[in-house]
Amino acid sequence: MKKNDYYEYSMTTDILHGTGSLRELPLLMTECRIKKPLVVTDRGIVGAGLLTPLLDNLPAEADPVVFDEVPPDSDRLLVNKIARLYRDGSCDGIIALGGGSVLDTAKGVNLVASLKADDIIDYAGAGTIAEELNPLIAVPTTSGTGSEVTLVAVIADHEIKRKMLFTSNFLQPRAALLDSRFTLTLPPHITAACAMDALCHACEAVYGLARNPFSEAAAVEAVSLIVKHLPAVLREPEKESGRLALAQAATLAGAAFSNSMVGMAHSIGHSLGSVCKVPHAAAMAVLLPHAMQYNMEKADEYIARLLEPLTGYSATAGTNVRSRALGAVTAVREFNADLRELTGGRHATRLGEILNREGECLIHRDRFREVAETTLGDGSIIYNNCELDFDEILQVLEQAW
Amino acid sequence: MKISHIIGNIYLEILLFVVGRALAAASRVSSDVREEVKRLPEGMVLLLQVLPSGPSMAIKKENGLLHYLGRNSGDRQPTVLMNVKNREAALLLLTFRESTALATAHDRILVRGNIPDLMTVIRILNLVEVLLLPRFIAKMAVKRYPRKKIRGRVRVYSRVLLGIG
């Protein structure tokens, strides 16, 4: 066996993409053999009126069980609770409608319900699932997480203040339904942060330790789509084609990182999420350029490949080969700055700019040591190209502050 | 079985034995390793094995130190399981031509158990490789050779050879 020539790539999710693709749901359910679905969503989705069209498109005889109270920081206890609802309701499949928290919660519920487990914690880590799970149809509403196609679920354990990683090919949803109607109402600053989450997935997939050609192809396309369509969507939020392009980009980036994993931006971001309750996407937007710069020491060749999808052919051709990696970092910083302007200052470009609903800063610097300690235990840190110790994590946090 | 396979298996048996004993020894003599061991829960049991039925080694944490359990964990259920998928992958890893991180990234290792504990175990393995190996080999086995000197090499070697702790 040669060094460096082996990788695995898995992508088993059917993708139904296009405006009005929700119409395909009844046929999809028949193909998946779902007769009595558990619909998992959150109050925000219900409030935005997005659950109704989904329920209206279910077959008349479906008789769904609906759980619509997934919080933004869902955790393992809730996953176990919803799984009991699934079993008590004699459900035979799940339809997940929402963003990352909803989709990952649904994956966790599917795991617990399918394997008749008591607690999802028994399946933490990689390679712990040995059999196929029940069908899960993912309907993303945020264009960021990519969870609709990934083999990963990130679920918090609030008791130990940590996000647990679950990875298995069996966690990939059976189908993903990308319909622009579900992202049209997303506010501009959330649209921007989610797209930056997808951009972060794509970039870390390109230069991470587990990079592979299939992931890179999908990731590079995702970066191009985001750079081209995100500013246009922020200027014109109801532009369906742009929304659909962002949904497609998020799914491509999801397929990419699902197979190449992610690096230090996510390691630190997960920890900021579990320690300071920072929204994942906002943390990713801030941390991505710092993570790229940190990894330039070992991965400049791969980071340089991101310059063309970020800035276009002409700008890349006009940049010295040795300066392209730094050019890519600068392009991401400038893109973040543009997004801040386009969202009226609501898109965070520094950790200190990430605010809660009351306008207060979510992150306190005195918690950086706790964040750094948690980061050392995050599973994605192993996929980061450059070694990262406690003090270096603190330095990155200070730089991002 | 080919002669090269037999030699390979013997090499892996010896290496896993040495690494197991070195982990236990390093937790006693190296302050850097002890700092990492502190992060592991008492009772943690690591089983590192080569699939499908290759050599293996197990360690546990007890009273703040690592203990080498031998080829398997006996009646103790492993809390962290590292399965190297095949003999060739194990040879790449244990001839130190590929780091644990790279082997994981290249899908050569299946892991199971608490991820933070696994990350700590990988950092400890890195430190032990730095302690056991000459610098030019250790540089291939870790993402980054430590900037500061990791002390205790002679004492780890002595303990491995004499079978102390």
- Which residues neighbour A386 within 8 Å (Cβ) at sequence distance 6 or greater? A264, A294, A295, A297, A298, A299, B143, B144
> Chain A partners of B88 at a C-beta cutoff of 8 Å?
1
Of residues A2 and A81, which shows the higher confidence score?
A81
The answer to whether B143 contacts chain A (CB < 8 Å) is: yes
Whether B104 has a pLDDT exceeding 60, the answer reads yes
> Chain A partners of B116 at a C-beta cutoff of 8 Å?
162, 376-378
pTM reported for the whole predicted model: 0.91
Residues B8-42 pLDDT 10s:
888 999 999 999 999 999 999 998 999 999 999 99
Confidence of residue A330 (pLDDT cuts 50, 70, 90): very high
Contact between A126 and B89 using a beta-carbon 8 Å cutoff: no
pLDDT for residue B165:
62
pLDDT for residue A345:
93
pLDDT for residue A42:
95
Give the residue-averaged pLDDT of A131-155: 94
pLDDT for residue A2:
53
DSSP β-bridge partners for residue A140: A98
Of residues A120 and B54, which shows the higher confidence score?
A120
3-class SS string, chain B: CCHHHHHHHHHHHHHHHHHHHHHHHHHHHCHHHHHHHCCCCCCCEEEEEECCCCCEEEEEEECCEEEEEECCCCCCCCCEEEEECCHHHHHHHHCCCCCHHHHHHCCCEEEEECHHHHHHHHHHHHHHHHHHCCHHHHHHHCCCCCCCCCCCHHHHHHHHHHCCC
Q: How far away is chain B from the Cα of A335, in angstroms, using its nearest Cα?
A: 30
- Report the residue from A210, A376, A377 with minimal CB separation from B105: A210
The answer to whether B148 contacts chain A (CB < 8 Å) is: no
Residues A214-227 pLDDT 10s:
999 999 999 999 99
The answer to whether A390 contacts chain B (CB < 8 Å) is: no
Whether B162 has a pLDDT exceeding 80, the answer reads no
**Nearest residue of chain A to residue B83 (CA atoms):** A127
Residue A35's nearest CA partner among A135, A121, A128 is A135
The answer to whether B38 contacts chain A (CB < 8 Å) is: no
Residues A362-394 pLDDT 10s:
999 999 999 999 999 988 999 999 999 999 999
| Host H or E run for residue A229 | helix A213-235
For all residues of chain B together, what is the average pLDDT? 88
> Chain A partners of B115 at a C-beta cutoff of 8 Å?
124-125, 164-165, 377-379
* Residue type at B150 in one-letter notation: I
The answer to whether A297 contacts chain B (CB < 8 Å) is: no
Of residues A184 and B153, which shows the higher confidence score?
A184
| Host H or E run for residue A193 | helix A188-207
**Nearest residue of chain B to residue A377 (CA atoms):** B116
Contact between B97 and A3 using a beta-carbon 8 Å cutoff: yes
> Chain B partners of A376 at a C-beta cutoff of 8 Å?
39, 116, 119-120, 123
CA distance A279 to A72: 8
Whether A246 has a pLDDT exceeding 60, the answer reads yes
Interface of A with B in 118-137 (CB under 8 A): 124-128
The answer to whether A103 contacts chain B (CB < 8 Å) is: no
Confidence of residue A241 (pLDDT cuts 50, 70, 90): very high
Residues A311-327 pLDDT 10s:
999 999 999 999 999 99
Of A96-105, A216-225, B93-102, least confident by mean pLDDT is B93-102
SS3 call for A399: helix
Whether B96 has a pLDDT exceeding 90, the answer reads no
Q: How far away is chain A from the Cα of B164, in angstroms, using its nearest Cα?
A: 30
Residues B105-123 pLDDT 10s:
888 988 888 888 999 999 9
The number of beta carbons lying within 10 Å of the beta carbon of residue B39 is 17
Confidence of residue A3 (pLDDT cuts 50, 70, 90): low
By CB atoms closer than 10 A (0-12, 13-18, 19+), residue A226 is buried
CA distance A259 to A167: 10
Q: How far is CA A160 from the centre of its chain?
A: 22
The answer to whether A4 contacts chain B (CB < 8 Å) is: yes
Give the residue-averaged pLDDT of A340-363: 92
CA distance A59 to A356: 40
Question: Contact A194/A144 with Cβ under 8 angstroms?
Answer: yes
Give the residue-averaged pLDDT of A152-177: 87
Of residues B150 and A100, which shows the higher confidence score?
A100
pLDDT for residue A4:
63
**Nearest residue of chain A to residue B116 (CA atoms):** A377
Side-by-side strand order, sheet with A125-126: A125-126, A162-167, A152-157
Give the residue-averaged pLDDT of A22-36: 94
> Chain B partners of A6 at a C-beta cutoff of 8 Å?
106-108
The sign of the torsion formed by the CA atoms of B83, B84, B90, B95 equals negative
Whether B75 has a pLDDT exceeding 80, the answer reads yes
Classify the complex by whether its ipTM is higher than 0.85, answering yes or no.
yes
Residue B33's nearest CA partner among B125, B118, B149 is B125
Question: Contact B21/B68 with Cβ under 8 angstroms?
Answer: yes
* Residue type at B106 in one-letter notation: H
